[in-house]
Amino acid sequence: MIDGFASLYIFMLAAFLGFEIISKVPVVLHTPLMSGSNFIHGIVVVGAMVALGHADTTVEKVIGFIGVFLGAANAVGGYVVTERMLEMFKSKKDSKKDSNAKGQEKAA
């Protein structure tokens, strides 16, 4: 267990880090970044696992089960969607290489 003030410091530092990292980003990456950060808060599944793992009564189990399901869907779905978006950057880079290569051929 971490004590109150240590957590407060973690909170503050993580917040600054989040601002810093996003502050210089090309517009093209806004959507993938939203999706990527959406994936990262899928870490909530871990907390839901802890909750379900400690659940005794039926009510707790139902709540925990819903929590794990929703959290895992957030993580897995977020990953798949982000990966598909970023896959596009591969083809973009490759096609750029292609067009560069073509340009060089023409020049030659």
Partner 1 sequence: MIDLIMKLAYFVASILFIAGLRRMTSPKTARSGIVWAGIGMLIAVGATFLLPGLQNTLLIVTALFLAAVWAWYQGKRVPMTDMPQMVALYNGMGGGSAAAIGAYALVNALQHADACSAGAISGGHDCLHGIVGWLAVIGAFIGTVSFSGSLIAFGKLQGWIDKRYTFPGQHIFNALVTLAALWLGYLVVQQPDAQLIIAFFVVSFLLGIFMTLPIGGADMPVVISLYNAFTGLAVAFEGFVLGNEAMIIAGTFVGAAGTLLTQLMAKAMNRSLFNVLFGSMAAKGEAAAVTGSMKPIDSMDAAVQLGFADRVVIVPGYGLAVAQAQHKLWELVKMLQDRGVDVKFAIHPVAGRMPGHMNVLLAEAGVPYDLIEDMEDINPQFPNTDVALVIGANDVVNPAARDDPNSPIYGMPILEVDKAKNVIVVKRGRGTGFAGIENPLFFKDNTRMLFGDAQDVVTQLIQELKEL
Binding to partner 1, residues 35-74 (CB under 8 A)? 35-57, 59-61, 63-74
Please tell me the count of residues contacting partner 1 according to CB under 8 A: 87
User: Would you tell me how many other CB atoms lie within 10 Å of the CB of residue 39?
Assistant: 19
Scan for tokens 């793992």, then name that residue: 53
User: CB of residue 100 vs partner 1: minimum separation in angstroms?
Assistant: 9
- Single-letter residue type at 42: G
Q: Are 7 and 15 in contact (CB under 8 A)?
A: no
Helix (H, G, I), strand (E, B) or coil at 108: coil
Q: Is 9 in the site for partner 1 (CB under 8 A)?
A: no
User: CB of residue 106 vs partner 1: minimum separation in angstroms?
Assistant: 12
Q: Is 101 in the site for partner 1 (CB under 8 A)?
A: no
End-to-end CA, the chain: 67
Give the residue with the Cβ less far from partner 1, 60 or 108: 60
